[in-house]
Amino acid sequence: MASPMRIRATEKDGIVDVRVLMKHDMETGQRKTPEGQLVPAWYISSIEAKVGDKVVYAAQFGPAVSKDPFLHFKLKGSAKKGDSISVTWADNKGETRTDKTDIK
Amino acid sequence: MKRYVFAGLLAGLIGTTSIASAQSASDQLAEYRRMLADGNPSELYEAEGEELWTKPAGPKKASLEKCDLGLGPGVVKGASAELPRYFKDTDRVQDLESRLMTCMSTLQGIPEADIVKGSFGRGVRKDLEAVVAYVVTQSKDMKVNVPAAHPKEKEMLALGEKIFYLQGGPMDFSCASCHAVDDKRIRMQDLPNLTKSKGATEGWGSWPAYRVSSGTFWTMQRRLNDCYRQQRMPFPIYGSDVTIALSIFMANKADGGIIQTPGLKR
Amino acid sequence: MNVQRRRLLQMTALVGLMASAGLMTQAEAATWNKAAFEAKTMDDLMKVLGGGAPQQSDAVTLRAPDIAENGAVVPVGVETSLKATEMAILVEKNPSALAAMFIVPAGADAFASTRVKMGQTSNVYALAKVDGKWLMSSKEVKVTLGGCGG
């Protein structure tokens, strides 16, 4: 089962600052094990942030994004203190994870 | 299609990078580390450790909430700032990891031997490492408080100093070979002088850390283990007196310094 | 103007309105742009992304260190005060140039920060799509492996 993300969302002067840390190996598919086998590509490919039903930010990652990916984005107008923001990621194997937090 | 503007831009860039090299490598690395500091993957381990602290586990199906890290049962805030320290119930000086092993065995029934003979980043030791991330975060920005006043602490301190300077292995290295002089570095890594307050605070105060080159969280035990590997000496036993003695030696030198753990390292 | 053309314009306007209101469909947000992520060179990538050759612009800010101590984790940020609908981070010398893409609905700042892997010293590009055209900023990031300590 996918490990939880760490989401920090704070509002200041109308801007909601969101920082997300995701636990994922982000294998490029080019790494070899000590035995010489290629480790298959396995990486988060899409991320979506929602407030209610509305998608407020989205991103697409390739395997070049670092292990345990970090994403920092800002919202102005689509969210405010007290709202709940949820973040969902999906990887190339079809696994997904959703976590949410309240905007402080 | 018209050739893109990249080629011209590249030529312009080459001109500017020569100015950048005048700035010391240290400053540039500091900038890199500063940019990484926000969003330290150690937090992922910390979150896991926080859950494990309250989760019933082991044959006794108990949580770690009654674990005494030196400030009383269940007190986590500020506890690792005072480690290593003497514990009356075990009648010995313990660092964070050996103390967590004590708690895991007495409270949860998980044998210490299982953790000691395991590997870093695997099995039950992996859980312990996550708890370490949680515990050290609760001392972040506090001052190291390891005066080593108790007679047994003094003993371990003396042992730690001795081991620090003990040369061995095929290259005749000791910790001191790299860490007893100011302004030393290996390639791009600055080597803190652990015999002085400033260097000790940097070294002791920034590990445990998320190590980017291995993409995992390294506890102090793992850092010490790797130091021995780098010296081509035999690996110390996990949680052994050697590791605790060295830890109290460094912590005492760092006494009063600000703790930055969990750190973020190359 | 004939009826068909009027209808088409109305539809286009509606779609545009939906997009700008941030009412993106699940499909739009979730469909991974395979062709873009598999493009090897930047020229190939720009053909896939469309919108013409990117123009160097001071309005696009790229934040990246001069030296990365470890190419496995290089912090990179892209930002613009202009109304960008999409942004991207490219690493020229990586096996595939595109590292990450960001979709910016109305109500979000044109801002993104993440960490990317760099195989070697390379130019890093920050792209922002403004009015259907790509603008960009770039710098060289040196990659070094720190050595034994630390």
* Tens-digit pLDDT profile for residues C85-123: 999 999 999 999 999 999 999 999 999 999 999 988 999
Q: Is B38 in the A-facing interface, judged by CB distances under 8 Å?
A: yes
Domain that holds residue B75: 37-265
- For C30-45, the pLDDT digits (tens) are 589 999 999 999 999 9
pLDDT range class, residue B213, cuts 50, 70, 90:
confident
Tokens of B16: 């500017």
Tell me which of B140-149, B184-193, C37-46, C141-150 is least confident: C141-150
Q: Which of A19, A28, A57 to mutate to test the interface with C (most CBs of C within 10 A)?
A: A57
Q: Average pLDDT over chain B, rounded to whole?
A: 90
Q: Strand locations in B38-141, DSSP E?
A: 85-87, 92-94
Q: How much helix, strand and coil, in percent to the nearest 5, is found in chain C? A: 25, 35, 40
- Measured between CB atoms, does B213 come within 8 Å of chain A? no
CA dihedral sign, ordered C53, C58, C63, C65: positive
Q: Which CATH superfamily is domain A6-102 in?
A: Immunoglobulins (2.60.40.10)
Task: State the pLDDT confidence band at C4, using cuts at 50, 70 and 90.
Answer: low
Tell me, what's the pLDDT at C22? 40
Query: Rounded to a whole number, what is the distance in Å from the CA of B119 to chain C's nearest CA?
Result: 21
Query: What CATH number should be reported for the domain holding residue B260?
Result: 1.10.760.10
Ramachandran quadrant class, B70 (left: phi over 0; alpha: psi -120 to 50; beta: rest): left
Question: Is the per-residue pLDDT at B195 higher than 60?
Answer: yes
Query: Is A10 a residue whose pLDDT tops 50?
Result: yes
Q: What is the pLDDT of residues B223-236, one digit of tens each?
A: 999 999 999 999 99
Q: Which residues of A touch B38 (CB under 8 A)?
A: 19, 72
Lowest mean pLDDT among A53-57, B28-32, B114-118, B248-252: B28-32
pLDDT (tens digit per residue) in A59-68: 999 999 999 9
- So what's the pLDDT on residue C18? 45
The answer on pLDDT for B168 being more than 80 is yes
Ramachandran area for residue C81 (φ above 0: left; ψ -120 to 50: alpha; else beta): alpha
| Angular region, B110: left φ>0, alpha ψ -120 to 50, beta rest | beta
CB-based contact (8 Å) between B15 and chain A? no
For chain C, the average pLDDT equals 83
- pTM score of the predicted model: 0.81
Give the nearest chain C residue to B7 (CA atoms): C123
> Which comes out higher in pLDDT, residue A32 or B4?
A32
pLDDT value for C149: 39
Which residues, numbered 88 to 147 in chain C, qualify as contacts with chain B under a Cβ-Cβ cut-off of 8 Å? 92, 115, 123, 138-140, 142, 144-147
How much is the pLDDT for B136? Answer: 97
Please check whether residue A73 touches C, CB under 8 A: yes
Across the interface, whether the CB atoms of A21 and B48 are under 8 A apart is answered no
Residues of C in Cβ contact (< 8 Å) with B186: 147-149
Taking only the tens place, the pLDDT of each residue in B53-94 is 999 999 999 999 999 999 999 999 999 999 999 999 999 999
Put simply, whether B215 touches A (Cβ < 8 Å) is yes
CATH number for the domain whose boundaries are C32-143: 2.60.40.2470
C25 and B CB contact within 8 Å: no
B214 vs B127, higher pLDDT:
B127
The Cα of C41 is separated from the nearest Cα of chain B by a number of Å equal to 12
- With 0-12 CB in 10 A as exposed, 13-18 as middle and 19+ as buried, what is B227? middle
Give ipTM to 2 decimals. Answer: 0.94
Q: How many domains does chain B have?
A: 1
Identify which of A6, A67, A72 has the shortest CB distance to residue B47. Answer: A6
Instruction: Name chain C's partners: 3 or more CB pairs within 8 A.
Output: A, B
Q: How confident is the model at residue B5 (pLDDT cuts 50, 70, 90)?
A: low
Place B3 in a pLDDT band, splitting at 50, 70 and 90: low
Q: Which residue has the higher pLDDT, B26 or B87?
A: B87
**Closest residue in B to C46 (Cα–Cα):** B4
For residues A51 and C93, what is the distance between their CA atoms, to the nearest angstrom? 37
**Residue B102 falls inside a structural domain:** yes
When CB atoms are compared, the residue of C22, C24, C100 closest to A65 is C100
Domains of chain A: which residue ranges?
A: 6-102
CB proximity B37 to A under 8 Å: no
Calculate how close chain C gets to A85, using CA atoms only, in Å: 13
Q: What is the pLDDT of residue C9?
A: 52
CA–CA separation, B239 and B95 (whole Å): 8
pLDDT at A69 exceeding the cut of 80: yes
Q: What is the mean pLDDT of residues B3-14?
A: 48
Rounded Cα distance, B257 and B35, in Å: 23
Higher pLDDT, C21 or B214: B214
Cβ contact (<8 Å) for B28 and C67?
A: yes
CA distance C3 to chain A (A): 34
The CA–CA distances, whole Å, from B214 to A63, B62, B211 equal 17, 32, 6
Active-site residue among B103, B175, B178, B227?
Answer: B227
User: Would an 8 Å CB–CB cutoff place B44 in contact with chain A?
Assistant: yes
Tell me if residue B175 is catalytic: no
Token code pair at residue A72: 């920092």
Residue B186 lies in a domain: yes
In a domain, B9, yes or no: no
- C44 and B CB contact within 8 Å: no
